[in-house]
Amino acid sequence: MFGKRYTEQLIERSAENATDRRRFLKAAGAAGLGVAGAGALGTALSLGLGSAGATSQYGAQGGDKAKEAASDAAVLNFALNLEYLEANLYSFAVSGYGLNEKYVNGIGNLGKVSGGHAVKFKSEHTKQIVQEIAGDEVAHVTFLRKALDKAAVAQPEIDFQNSFTAAMQAAGVIQKGQTFDPFASENNFLLAAFLFEDVGVSAYKGAAPLVNNKTFLDAAAGILAVEAYHAGIVRSQLFERGLGDITNKISDARDSLDGKADDDEGVLKDGKANLVPADANGIAFGRSADRVLNIAYLNPDKVTSGGFYPRGLNGEIATSGAKEK
């Protein structure tokens, strides 16, 4: 996919120091150019995303830190925290278990995953879709861990059952007192995947303006395309199944968490298909890291834990955005 010299140049430019460069090169060599192309280029985009979130968090502490961007390790670990969630979500759906224990140890508090189990797929077509995406997400985790080496954070505690129930109650998908099991059916799982896939695309889009290096920007376009493929597949499945009204409720709930902007969109608009959530110019919107965490924590306020991460993320980038007045 990418030439060896191209990959080496990208690694050299993205790494903060010689140690980081060696760590990246080691991971690229171990994983092969195909994975290095996807993993390293994805982290280049996440560099911008992490910096946005980190600046907001540091600013609250005052001093010169308000002007600092996150280190490469901090940014990669932020991405790793998010990948732990997605990899477990899809892995449970297709296999009945989460990540292998050898892929979850690291710095910080090692947490378990609650609420996961296999989905009883009725459609072989849908099962193959979920299996393919699961493979992508697990590959992201393994690459990031190799790139970070001993600096990799551990998997934080992840809650699927209580968090999805809270999210779906807030969205009006289920009533108070009811529960939502994301693995109970194909429809439930696709709705759960929709909640996160769209957030992932907006996160990469939010990073794009922060990427000044043309090599990074070119790489970011490739990674964003892959994330958009995932989101588009899930949105198409939900539209075909007649679940557009429910996706609109979930979209409104996400919008209520991440600030004043009303950019988020479900898969129906004016009763018709809205598979590509873009503005009048055909451009997708973006979210900064702290706004991504508002959704992950299911809280519009500035907090460090909650929702899908009951004890927060491991690493430096772990604070959601403050409520806008």
| DSSP string computed for 264-311 | ---SEETTEE--S---TTS------HHHHHHHHTT-SS--S-BTTBTT
Note the CATH architecture for domain 72-297: Up-down Bundle (1.20)
Q: How far apart are CA 244 and CA 266, in angstroms?
A: 7
Which residues share a beta bridge with 269? 272
Q: What is the pLDDT along the chain (325 residues), one digit of tens a residue?
A: 333 443 344 344 444 444 444 444 444 444 433 333 333 333 333 333 333 333 433 333 333 443 345 566 776 787 789 889 999 999 999 999 999 999 999 999 999 999 999 999 999 999 999 999 999 889 878 877 887 889 999 999 999 989 999 999 999 999 999 999 999 999 999 999 999 999 878 876 776 565 444 543 454 466 677 778 989 999 999 999 999 999 999 999 999 998 888 888 999 999 999 999 888 898 888 888 899 999 999 999 999 999 999 999 999 989 999 988 7
Sequence-distant (6+) residues with CB within 8 A of 209 are 48, 286
Q: How far apart are CA 76 and CA 259, in angstroms?
A: 25
Backbone angles phi, psi at 113, to 5 degrees: -110, 125
In this predicted structure, what is the pLDDT of residue 218? Answer: 54
Q: How far apart are CA 51 and CA 163, in angstroms?
A: 27
pTM listed for this prediction: 0.77
